[in-house]
Amino acid sequence: MSESPILLTPGPLTTSIETRRAMLRDWGSRDPAFIALTAELRARLLAVARGEGTHVAVPLQGSGTFIVEAAIATLIGPTDKLLVLINGAYGERMVTIGKRMGRAVEAIRWAEDRPVEPARVAEALRADPSITHVALVHCETTTGILNPLEDVAAIVAGAGRALLLDAMSSFGALPIDLSTTPVTAVLASSNKCLEGVPGLGFALVEPPALERAKGVSPSLSFDLHAQWKGFEADGQWRFTPPVQVVAALVEALRLLETEGGPKARHARYSDNFRTLLAGMRRLGFELFLDEAVQAPIIATFHLPADRGLAFRPFYEALAARGFLIYPGKLTQAETFRIGCIGALDRHDFERLLEAVAETVRVLEAA
């Protein structure tokens, strides 16, 4: 078996050997040992965001989109209206999901390089009393932009509405404190800042919101109320759980605690980002976002077409050196992305920068 490449992507990403090793055993999904593992998973997920006193953790099989779809299907009722705050592809996806579920959906849009403006949210909520829920993407992975969670949460709660937070690419690294920040439901997945393997999403939800949602979801599988009641009844999953993914995520959560929690992880990712940015600038690459609004999660760089660099050959040359980068996802500019997350530190980024320098020399000489 060849060695794993270094994944500079927003997930699946590079995981630690301990996390991968945790997948080497079989588990009976209805056995007490796995029921205990599931209980540990749910407790640890809550603890990451200090939600023990206010929320419950509801894991769900599938990718991140599955948990977003389940949350919208379950928590937005047929007489509710969802306002989605959009500055990238994942906000747009929530509108698509809401419409597919037959729900009333409105949106406010910003340019991809502009953060959500809380004042415009306040204005929209004042203007339309029929809006019951607001959805925000914490870190828009499309660009890596950070949206102002605290300010939006205060405005939404102050207006008496519910907030759904897509924290897919922030949970476990960027600060989310449910004991002080009013968020009805936080949605995230196993394979980003928690550094688990893909296959599992989860929601941290206020129990009254789930209680109200009995029978609301038009889908059997994407029903967070039924999924929650299943766990509460006997600690078991309703349908076949991805047992190895659960085992890996519990191990990854233990490692997060050992590292010092989200604060320490944030510091490591910030160091990765700073190392990357300084090196890429030395090599003549420009960051797409203003640094003031950039989260240390994933960095978007312009692809300098005037230097004859195209994404495919650039990607392939780096892949041949063991580094997998990510294409851009912008509607406007030619870009590529480099993730700063995963079981990586600045030494990995220093090696990446040497590979980028070498790649640029070869491609520009061609």
Ligand X SMILES: Cc1ncc(COP(=O)(O)O)c(C=O)c1O
Report the candidate in 352, 357, 354, 358 with the shortest Cα–Cα distance to residue 340: 352
Does position 299 interact with ligand X (CB under 6 A)? The reply is no
Peptide bond into 5 cis (omega under 30): no
Among 6, 8, 10, 118, binds ligand X (CB under 6 A): 10
Residues in contact with ligand X, shown as a per-residue x/- string from 327 to 356 under the rule CB under 6 A: ------------------------------
Does position 90 interact with ligand X (CB under 6 A)? The reply is yes
Distance of CA 174 to the CA centre of its chain: 10
The CB-of-91 to ligand X minimum distance in angstroms stands at 9
Q: Which is nearer to ligand X, 13 or 209 (CB)?
A: 13
Binding residues for ligand X restricted to 258-277, rule: CB under 6 A: none
Q: Which is nearer to ligand X, 262 or 279 (CB)?
A: 262
Applying CB under 6 A, which part among 13-21, 58-66, 249-257, 344-352 lies near ligand X? 58-66
Q: Which is nearer to ligand X, 57 or 187 (CB)?
A: 187
Q: Which is nearer to ligand X, 169 or 184 (CB)?
A: 169
The CB-of-10 to ligand X minimum distance in angstroms stands at 5
Q: Which is nearer to ligand X, 87 or 359 (CB)?
A: 87
State in Å, rounded, how far the first CA of the chain is from the last one: 33
How far, in Å, are 37, 79, 193, 204, 342 from residue 235 at the CA level?
Answer: 10, 32, 26, 16, 30
Among 65, 143, 190, 227, binds ligand X (CB under 6 A): 65
Q: Which is nearer to ligand X, 139 or 360 (CB)?
A: 139
Q: Which is nearer to ligand X, 93 or 360 (CB)?
A: 93
Look at the block and give the residue holding tokens 């660099």: 309
Residues in contact with ligand X, shown as a per-residue x/- string from 161 to 200 under the rule CB under 6 A: -----x-xx-------------------x-----------
Total of chain residues touching ligand X, rule CB under 6 A: 12
Among 19, 63, 181, 227, binds ligand X (CB under 6 A): 63
Report the candidate in 349, 262, 264, 260 with the shortest Cα–Cα distance to residue 299: 349
Applying CB under 6 A, which part among 53-61, 63-71, 224-232, 272-280 lies near ligand X? 63-71
Residues in contact with ligand X, shown as a per-residue x/- string from 113 to 152 under the rule CB under 6 A: ------------------------x---x-----------
Q: 10 Å Cβ neighbour count for 219?
A: 12
Q: Which is nearer to ligand X, 68 or 213 (CB)?
A: 68
Look at the block and give the residue holding tokens 């797409």: 288
Residues of this chain that interact with ligand X (CB under 6 A) are 10, 63-65, 68, 90, 137, 141, 166, 168-169, 189
